[in-house]
Structure 1
Amino acid sequence: MTEFQTTITGLTHDGRGVARIDNKAVFVSGALMGESVRVALRKRHRNYDEADIVEIITPSVHRVEPRCRHFTMCSGCSLQHMDPAAQIEAKQNVLAENFERIGKVRPETWLPPLTDQPWGYRRKGRFSVRYVAKKERVLVGFREESNPGFVADITHCEVIHPALGPKVGLLADMIGTLEARSDIPQVEFAAGDDTVALVFRHMTPLSAGDQAKLVAFGQQHGLAIYLQPGGISTVHPLWPEQPRLAFAITADNVELEFRPLDFVQVNAGMNQRMMARTMELLDPQPTDRVLDLFCGLGNFTLPIARHVAHVIGVEGEHGLVERAAENAARNGLHNVSFAVANLFENQKHAPWATQVWDKLVLDPPRAGADKVLEYLPGKATRRVVYVSCHPGSLARDAGILVQKHGFRLVSAGVMDMFPHTAHVESIALFER
């Protein structure tokens, strides 16, 4: 195996160190900016190579001891070896670089980064499950870092909700006792404020004995148990009979109920902080009419409704829109309505798209909102708040808002929705 000594000069979008060896980029897992390292080439590609650290000769001042002993094997986290302040700085640098390179824009001011508790924050996710016959045991976890086809052999997770994170090994052991242990490919988890739920996907019907073991596990550990024999529509509770998943947005006295496979923001603490910043940037007034696109369950729509004359939320998934409307009624909000629409198709003739809106909220998936920006915002819209889970699509769309629609990029900043990962969540304010 070929070894080299080199210096790390940058970080990739997924948190690997970048070096240059013989004028070719080399991505080094686990390396940090400025470190002098000895590396071993693992895989060659046409435009870059991949390498692993053999020795850290000069460590970065930002290097810390990873809290989780599974860190180097599990793909769930990529930055536990970097101190939290440096993680935030790296993410802000990624956002700034994307704005300048892709959007050809720069915010007039940078918002202070939003952070919250860096451990036990993850309330939503999916475990892969695999029965390994040679070991006669079940593995439950995320994928391996170096071999994505394999499930990482973990016993606990430091970033998952504390009601579940320390119990991953116990969950694996329990599944290993089931008759259907070879027929359960995944377990999804979802945590509300008071209930943590597990959804067991099973490819064959479960025996009464297996169901009893699942119920016993739920009762012992205080977890709601759901079964999923087919598609999303087949998800149903096993125990208790009617579990309730919900979370509150306390500042606006709103509570949203959801189903275990619904999209919700992964980080509950950061969601509260993100809502507060969104309200600060949106500056909702009693006479405002607000359009909230990619609204999901109404995470932004319902709190905004507490402060404005009227708000409409638009979302592509029927089930989420139904539950958003139910949440509005449950919270006594009558100045809010919802529409179902595929926002990656041209909707410029939809009734909500032809109305006059004072302010616009965008919270798109990774693909961004460029299709929407072909016909919105209208001339009367004076303020846009854009919440992004991908800096590249935000930068592209910022360029559209500034150069096509005549907005200023007033401010922007990162939100650490996924600590210890290279994921960059951000928020930006545009004004006419």
Structure 2
Amino acid sequence: MPTGIIESLDHEGRGVTLVDGKTVFVEGALPGERVEYAVYRRQPSYEQARTLRVLAPSPSRVTPRCPHFGVCGGCSMQHFDPEAQVAAKQRLLEDNLRHLGGLRAEQLYAPIYGQPWAYRYRARLSVRFVAKKGGVLIGFRERQGRYVTDMQQCEVLPQHLSAMLLPLRELIGGLSIRDRLPQIEVAIGEHVTALVLRVLEPPDAGDEGLLRNFADKHGVVFYLQPKGPATAYRFHPQAGPPLSYLLPDFAVEHFFSPTEFTQVNPSVNRVLVRRAMNLLQPQAGERVGDMFCGLGNFTLAIARSGASVLGVEGSPELVARAAENAAANGLGQLAEYRVADLFAATAETVAAFGRLDKMLIDPPRDGALELVKALAADGPRRIVYISCSPPSLARDAAILVAQKGYRLRGAGVVNMFPNTSHVESIALFERAAAH
């Protein structure tokens, strides 16, 4: 079997080695290690492989905490010391900025990170009835293939939810619609744990009784979702507190429905919002744009500073939720929202937003290419860019610097998803003339 010395990690957390001029991506290998591997896919310019044996281990290699690691697709880096994970993600961000954007940040920000376990307050779990495995399986998909992991616990879910996996399997196995319930979406708020059951057929009276008993016993709220995410409705208990999360630094409470997007890691999100406000420095009398604002995660923190803020989002449902949250927090006079497709932004549509002194951009993985291309010469003097994809950040940063007259003042990683290869980051851009 071939061997190689691992030079770095790629964006999926795989080890990278160069053998006879060809790049080999090796699952389960860490930087600095010498490993024996088996190739399972060959392409003209690269190969994909799995680690068979670690011949010289990295000092950062640790024993995975979860017994399902290696099979379950929920985590890819539990064999890597948590602090070393953060350092590797910072290097990946720097490499993307340098190689794809031709840029080097003037300052590297201290990484934002929190507890590596029990952090995941949002999850989408697959459900399958598999008779030969003894009944219902509930879990993340396996790393290889489309099967559901036979998950009996989960170290990245909060402990109360991890302990609920086996009782949930028993519950679903006793329903008449056990093979018509493909997914459970989890949303945990400050006061509520919500479980959204994707039901392809409505539960019968017996099923409803089982669901009510389970909810009462385990202290959860069941929602039923017959079709798309917007059809989810609260089933039991009907009364009780709504889903919400707090940003205590800004005295803000965000209310949300269990199928609306919120950050997976609420404790790291609090630090991220604080960092973003420190970099943006919104002031009373300024007008700030919050692009891809969602339900207002950053918008209301900006408004709390006294600045007026325009939140722009493509989803009418999220814009409506954002406006409700602004009103509920007494910030309706400072926060304005508009529905717009920022992936189709033009100079004309951006100009229609009016004067913006500063801007925060928090796009999905595809980035904000059309938006940054559409910025005018007298556009915002300061931009804080939150990214969940280093390659798209590097691409957009190159445009901001080379074509729009900004400097990349600083950048750093945000470890929103510990034990995974996911890299979140934050960057600050200022117009070159700014002092």
Write the deviation string for residues 131-155 of structure 1: whole angstroms up to 9, x where unpaired. Answer: 11223411111111122x1111111
Q: Give the conservation status (yes or no) of the 8 Å contact 1:155–1:167.
A: no
Write the deviation string for residues 17-45 of structure 1: whole angstroms up to 9, x where unpaired. Answer: 12234443222211111111222223333
Offset at residue 351 of structure 1 (A):
7.7
Question: How is 1:119-268 mapped onto 2 (pairs within 5 angstroms)?
Answer: 119-147=117-145, 149-243=146-240, 244-268=242-266
Question: How is 1:42-53 mapped onto 2 (pairs within 5 angstroms)?
Answer: 42-53=40-51
Offset at residue 242 of structure 1 (A):
4.1
Write the deviation string for residues 295-341 of structure 1: whole angstroms up to 9, x where unpaired. Answer: 00000001110113311100000111001000000111111110001
Aligned position for 1:341: 340
Q: Tell me the SS of whatever aligns to 1:200.
A: strand
Q: Distance in 2 between matches of 1:216 and 1:377?
A: 58
Q: Which moved more, 1:69-78 or 1:343-352?
A: 343-352
Matched, 1:7 2:9: no
Paired amino acid for 1:401 = L
Question: How is 1:396-407 mapped onto 2 (pairs within 5 angstroms)?
Answer: 396-407=395-406
Q: Give the conservation status (yes or no) of the 8 Å contact 1:158–1:166.
A: no
Offset at residue 354 of structure 1 (A):
4.4
Q: Distance in 1 between matches of 2:353 and 2:9?
A: 44
Matched, 1:417 2:416: yes
Q: Distance in 2 between matches of 1:112 and 1:232?
A: 37
Q: Distance in 1 between matches of 2:352 and 2:210?
A: 51
Aligned position for 2:356: 357
Aligned position for 1:109: 107
Paired amino acid for 1:370 = L
Matched, 1:92 2:90: yes
Q: Tell me the SS of whatever aligns to 1:308.
A: coil
Q: Which moved more, 1:20-29 or 1:132-141?
A: 20-29
Offset at residue 348 of structure 1 (A):
3.7
Q: Give the conservation status (yes or no) of the 8 Å contact 1:190–1:198.
A: yes
Matched, 1:370 2:369: yes
Offset at residue 179 of structure 1 (A):
1.3
Q: Distance in 2 between matches of 1:61 and 1:189?
A: 36
Paired amino acid for 1:337 = E
Offset at residue 85 of structure 1 (A):
1.3
Q: Give the conservation status (yes or no) of the 8 Å contact 2:279–2:384.
A: yes
Q: Distance in 2 between matches of 1:209 and 1:325?
A: 40
Could you state the TM-score of these two structures normalised by the residue count of structure 1?
Answer: 0.96
Judging changes above 3 Å, is the alpha-carbon distance between structure 1 residues 228 and 380 closer, same or farther for their aligned structure 2 residues? closer
Write the deviation string for residues 45-86 of structure 1: whole angstroms up to 9, x where unpaired. Answer: 333222222221111000001111111110101111000111
Write the deviation string for residues 109-130 of structure 1: whole angstroms up to 9, x where unpaired. Answer: 1000011111111111200111
Q: Tell me the SS of whatever aligns to 2:132.
A: coil
Runs of at least 5 residues in structure 1 that lack an aligned partner in the other structure = none
Q: Tell me the SS of whatever aligns to 2:53.
A: strand
Q: Tell me the SS of whatever aligns to 1:109.
A: coil
Paired amino acid for 1:376 = L
**Greater than 3 Å deviation, 4+ residue runs:** 20-23, 347-354
Offset at residue 267 of structure 1 (A):
0.5
Q: Distance in 2 between matches of 1:418 and 1:232?
A: 23
Offset at residue 265 of structure 1 (A):
0.9
Q: Distance in 1 between matches of 2:104 and 2:38?
A: 39
Paired amino acid for 1:258 = F
Could you state the TM-score of these two structures normalised by the residue count of structure 2?
Answer: 0.95
Residue 281 of structure 2, aligned match among 270, 280, 283? 283
Paired amino acid for 2:429 = F
Aligned position for 1:382: 381
Paired amino acid for 1:418 = F
Q: Tell me the SS of whatever aligns to 2:194.
A: strand
Offset at residue 405 of structure 1 (A):
1.0
Offset at residue 377 of structure 1 (A):
5.3
Paired amino acid for 1:69 = P
Q: Distance in 2 between matches of 1:377 and 1:300?
A: 23
